[in-house]
Amino acid sequence: KLQWTISVSKGGVYRCRGERGEPVYYTEYSDSVTINIILSNRAVVTLQPHWTEIHSGEKITLRCEIEGGDDSEWEYEWETTSSDRSVRQSESFEITATSYSEGEYKCKGKHKTEVLSSTPWSTPITLTVSEQKPKAELKADVTDIPVGGYVTLTCDVSSSSGWQYYFWYRADKSSNPSSINEFSSAGQKRVSKEGLYRCRGARGNPVYYTEDSNTIQLKENTVANKAVVTLHPNWSEIYYKESITLRCEIKDGDDAEWEYEWKTSNSFKPPKEKEYSIGPAYTSHSGNYSCKGRKKSDQSPTGWSDPITLTVLSSSPQPVLTVSPLWLSPGDSVTLNCEVKHPSAGWRFYWYEAIPKLSDNSYNSYNYQLLSGSRNGTEKYSFIVHGQTHTAGYVCRAGRGEMNTPYSEPKFVWSGDLPSSASLTVSPERVQHFTSDSVSLECKGNSTQWRVTFQEDSFLADCSLRDTMTGSTCTIEEYRSRNNVYWCESGSGEFSNAVNITKENSDIILNNKLIQNDTRKELNISAVSKSDEGFYKCQTSGRESSQSWMSVTVVAVSRLGNPSYLLILMIVGLICGVVLIILLLLLYRCRQSKDSCLIRRSIQSESTNQDSATNPAAQHHEYSPPLQGDACHYESIKGPEDTAHDANQSQSHDVTYSLIELKNIGKKGKYFNKIQQKKVLKCFYIHSAHLLSFL
């Protein structure tokens, strides 16, 4: 067996074959042998930054460095035991740390020109990834700051390295933290200001921050003097664009020996002076203000004052005016009260009379004229108007400094007296009306422009809002509302008398006997009879309406009332005279029956006359029902216009009469009601100056 041995110095893939004879005969190629050249250069894995323990979310760069070689000569190969098996062939790569990144990393270099020539594998580097974010720890050597001295704060992050430290300060728990601008790589900071401190660590690019540290409170050793914040003027609430001054007062101290510090809960930083002036004020000035003094000589401080709260409101307050009394009586004085928030906080009050303004066609438009004695305002929030006799409107407003509130809503006092310049009349002119009746309110006076205004509870509007206003007349087709007061306002700026309209649930009373007591507002009489005749009135809540007389009249009508029929009877009577004489006895009996009818009628008439002095119903109507055999055409009924005037005459002026007739239109004088429909009574009051009524 023949063998040949050679030596090689280059890496590569080698194989051989044999040959013999002439011509040459070749064997098959042998198996190939790969020769790798291990170079003497050394590969090293480095971390940038050089943190062997990193935290989830941090970024780090791994680099493969070849000692003793130019970077351009090499290609790179990486191996890792981590779950991240990405193929990497570059000199370096960056990872964002996760739990998958944890493991060993190694690399080697391959020479670009020398085939199969590479460095040995580097020593592996272990990368540890922590899922939990680290927290900084803050320590202080002492917590009481000595006068003129300082305290050293130390911030530390126990895990890994490479941290820089940032410190924060805030005056108290309610204030916002502020950063101490300088950072410390050593983790220490000297401070001389009392307050609350904390810190945190940071490293990397982009910066990775630790959790904030614990909080440490430092206090200065203070002097006995007490600081107090005062407001000038003393208003804890001010309004947009008002001005105010805050002053830091040091008890038992000379102003010349103190320096001042302020702290606030807002973003404003007052100057280190005794006074802090705000003006114009904005809502952002709202907040708590505290101050303290520091002696100029040794910098020893007072304690912080108690905070004072300043509130800046975005809009001025809306005053509310009340008037008393609402209805005027002769000789009354009108008391006006203007309510505004914090009435004693420097307000002055101005009082105005409301003058109707109809030119702009708005329903609630008035000019305001200062009342006598109110030009410079009043310190008191009440004002008395003497000698007011007619309907009038008033408004008020308040002011302090350069700021005035809006005008209040107008309020009115009403009078039923009829002024010569303007008046309101109700048509039809009667005390009681049905709710379905059309009622007109007419304005009269020295003006060509009118509006009828009404107030329902606190709502103010004019007639055209719900009803019909034509010229100077307001027409109410059907009254639906409750508790309204109506009055006229003229284009020349005058008010009329007022009319109060109310509608209430009522009891119905007949001849002082209660016949209905429930929540219904009407009485239904389904079949009218003579027993329904009498005085009706209704009452509610202790108030009583005027009474109305309802008369029921029965009228008998016979066919004997026909003139042609009577003429025939007369002719027949002449022809049959002899027969009538023969029938004298029968006629005598008939005459007896007729006398009986007359006697009954006479007796009842006499009884009625006797009762008329005490019974108002009898006074107004005398009633005598005819007998069945009576041949008279109509029964005589005495109406109220024919009744003699007596002691009850004054009462009759307040009575509205209703008439229901019962007629006999049957044969032989049989009676039945011609009117069978319901008679409905409703309670509805309208009082001129005080109260009128609708039924």
Query: What pLDDT digit, counting tens, does each position of 354-402 carry?
Result: 999 887 666 678 999 999 888 888 989 999 999 888 899 999 999 988 8
Are the C-beta atoms of 89 and 118 separated by less than 8 Å?
Answer: no
632 plus 553 within the same structural domain:
yes
Instruction: Kindly provide the b/e burial profile for residues 484-523, where b requires at least 16 CB atoms within 10 angstroms of the residue's own CB.
Output: bbbbbbbeebbbbbbbbbbbbebbbbbeeeeeeeeeebbb
The CATH number assigned to the domain holding 268 equals: 2.60.40.10
Are both 206 and 63 inside the same structural domain? no
**584 in a structural domain:** no
Model confidence pLDDT, tens digit, residues 539-589:
776 677 777 778 787 665 444 445 555 566 677 667 767 677 777 776 666
Query: CB neighbours (10 Å) of residue 21?
Result: 7
Claim to verify: residue 535 and residue 660 sit in the same structural domain: yes
Q: What is residue 482's predicted lDDT score, i.e. its pLDDT?
A: 59
- The H or E element containing residue 593 is helix 584-611
Q: Does residue 693 surpass a pLDDT of 70? A: no
- Tokens 């284009």 belong to 491
Residues 511 and 558 placed together within one structural domain of the fold: yes
Q: How confident is the model at residue 275 (pLDDT cuts 50, 70, 90)?
A: very high
Residues 447 and 523 in one domain: no
Containing domain of residue 348, as a range? 320-413
Q: Which of 455, 479, 502 is the last residue of a domain?
A: 502
In angstroms, what is the C-alpha Rg of the chain?
A: 56
pLDDT at 618 over 80: no
Average pLDDT over residues 629-640: 30
Q: Does 95 share its domain with 62?
A: yes
As a whole number of Å, the end-to-end CA separation of the chain is 147
Average pLDDT, the chain: 77
Task: Tell me: do 114 and 168 sit in the same domain.
Answer: no
Q: Is residue 243 located within the same domain as residue 186?
A: no
Domain boundary among 220, 247, 282: 220
For the entire predicted model, the pTM comes to 0.50
* Cα–Cα distances in angstroms (integers) from residue 281 to residues 312, 420, 671, in the given order: 7, 52, 90
Relative to beta strand 195-203, strand 188-191 is unpaired
Q: Is residue 290 part of a domain?
A: yes
Predicted pLDDT of residue 690 = 37
Residue 653 above 50 pLDDT? no
- 267 — pLDDT class (breaks 50, 70, 90): confident
For the ranges 178-192, 198-212, 550-564, 608-622, the one whose mean pLDDT is highest: 198-212
Q: Count other C-beta atoms under 10 Å from residue 10's C-beta.
A: 11
Is a pLDDT exceeding 70 seen at residue 174? Answer: no
**Is residue 682 predicted with pLDDT exceeding 50?**
no
> What percentage of the chain has pLDDT greater than the value 90?
33
- The Cα 163–Cα 133 span in angstroms is 14
Between residues 178 and 675, the one the model is more confident about: 178
| Among candidate residues 177, 203, 220, the one where a domain is terminated | 220
| Same domain flag for 552 and 669 | yes
Tell which residue, 164, 293, 167, has the closest CA to residue 229. 293
The answer to whether residue 146 is domain-embedded is yes
Reading across the β-sheet that carries 188-191, which strands appear in turn? 137-140, 151-156, 188-191
Is position 687 within any domain?
no
Instruction: Confirm whether 74 is domain-assigned.
Output: yes
Q: Which pLDDT value is given to residue 553?
A: 77
Output 206 or 691, whichever has higher pLDDT. Answer: 206
Residue 616 located in a structural domain: no
- Same domain for 409 and 430, yes or no, is no
pLDDT digits (tens, 9 = 90+) for 22-77: 999 999 999 999 888 888 899 999 999 988 789 999 999 999 999 887 777 899 99
Both 676 and 555 in one domain: the answer is: yes
Answer whether residue 692 is part of any domain: no
User: How far apart are alpha carbons 601 and 635 in whole angstroms?
Assistant: 11
Rounded Cα–Cα distance for residues 614 and 197 (Å): 101
Q: What residues contact 555, with CB distance under 8 A and at least 6 apart?
A: 634, 635, 637, 661, 662, 663, 664
Please give the C-alpha separations between residue 289 and each of 129, 233, 268, 294, in angstroms, as whole numbers. Answer: 48, 16, 10, 17
pLDDT at 658 over 70: no
pLDDT (tens digit per residue) in 456-502: 877 888 888 888 999 999 998 876 655 688 999 998 889 999 988 76
Say if residue 640's pLDDT is above 80.
no
Number of domains within the chain: 6
Over range 241-249, report the average pLDDT: 93
* Pairing mode, strands 320-324 and 366-370: unpaired
Give 485's contacts (C-beta < 8 A, 6+ positions apart).
412, 414, 454, 455, 498, 499, 500, 501
Give a yes or no: residue 606 inside a domain.
Answer: no
Tell me if the bond preceding 301 is cis, omega within 30° of 0: no
Q: Is the pLDDT of residue 235 over 60?
A: yes
Q: 642 pLDDT band (50/70/90 cuts)?
A: very low
Is 117 in contact with 11 (CB distance < 8 Å)? Answer: yes
| Residues 472 and 389 grouped into a single domain | no
pLDDT of residue 345: 76
User: What percent of the chain has a predicted confidence (pLDDT) above 70?
Assistant: 74
Q: Identify the residue with better confidence: 495 or 608.
A: 495
Q: What is the pLDDT of residues 311-366, one digit of tens each?
A: 999 888 899 999 999 998 877 899 999 998 776 678 899 999 999 988 766 667 89
